[in-house]
Amino acid sequence: MVKIGVLGLQGAIAEHVRSVEATGAQAMIIKHKEQLDEIDGLIIPGGESTTMRRLIDKYDFFDALVAFGKKDKPIFGTCAGLILLANQIVGQETNHLALMDIKVERNAFGRQKESFETELEIKGVADDFEAVFIRAPYIAEVGPEVEVLATYNDNIVAAQQGHYLCSAFHPELTDDHRLTEYFVNMVKN
């Protein structure tokens, strides 16, 4: 059975664990970088990207996370996790892990009162996925190796680049586990 880690520094950690377990895979909360050796794939959850980045630096996770990705181990970033994976952030000089060739706009749909849920078509996953967007980012531009999986009002909200997967919305907040299952299958193959 594959073992999926959930980066356990801050955010919706328990929800991802629940979703991974619902697909039949094993889940593990990752609080120390050494634990990365024990897992086959990693989910970077939603939360506050600035907070997570500070804790990533504080606990010396940065190089270990980049190395994990470079070893061809799959990583799935949701919302804040997507921001951490991007190699460009609109309006900022700096980026975070820079593992995906995407340019991301933070809080792109506005503040919390503009947060919403909708049904989305996700290529290869579902045509009626229940997507919850919370102060969500979107992907403004993608590089040539990135495949767009979903758009909302012409904005890119899910994408894949080889073994990296990302979504601007929160698949862990609903009982619709199809996108998590898609990631678990990426890890299996």
Partner 1 sequence: MSKIGTDRVKRGMAEMQKGGVIMDVVNAEQAKIAEEAGAVAVMALERVPSDIRAAGGVARMADPTIVEEVMNAVSIPVMAKARIGHIVEARVLESMGVDYLDESEVLTPADEVYHLNKRDFTVPFVCGCRNLGEAARRIGEGTSMLRTKGEPGTGNIVEAVRHMREVNGQVRTLVNMSVDEVMTYAKELGAPYEVLLDIKENGRLPVVNFAAGGIATPADAALMMQLGADGVFVGSGIFKSDNPANFARAIVEATTHYENYELIAKVSKGIGTAMKGLEIGTIAPEERMQDRGW
Binding residues for L-glutamine: 47-49, 106, 134-135
Beta-carbon count within 10 A of 70 CB? 9
Element housing 134 (H / E): none
CA angle 96, 55, 88 (to 5 degrees): 10
Q: Which residues pair with 98 in a beta bridge?
A: none
Distance CA 57, CA 67 (A): 15
Interaction of residue 54 with partner 1, rule CB under 8 A: yes
* 60: contact with partner 1 by CB under 8 A: no
Position 171 contacts partner 1 (CB under 8 A)? no
Minimum distance between the CB of residue 135 and partner 1, rounded to whole angstroms? 7
Binders of partner 1: how many residues, by CB under 8 A?
A: 39
35 binds partner 1 (CB under 8 A): no
In the set 166, 172, 177, 181, the catalytic residue is: 172
Q: Is 172 a catalytic residue?
A: yes
SS3 (DSSP) at 54? helix
Q: Take residue 75 and report the two structure tokens written for it.
A: 């990583």
Q: Considering only 62-70, 94-102, 110-118, 160-168, which stretch makes contact with partner 1 by CB under 8 A?
A: 110-118
Report the C-alpha gap between 183 and 22 in whole angstroms.
Answer: 13
The residues annotated as belonging to the active site are 79, 170, 172
Can you give the binding site for partner 1, defined by CB under 8 A?
8-15, 31, 46-48, 50-51, 54-55, 58, 79-80, 106-107, 110-119, 132-135, 152, 170, 173-174
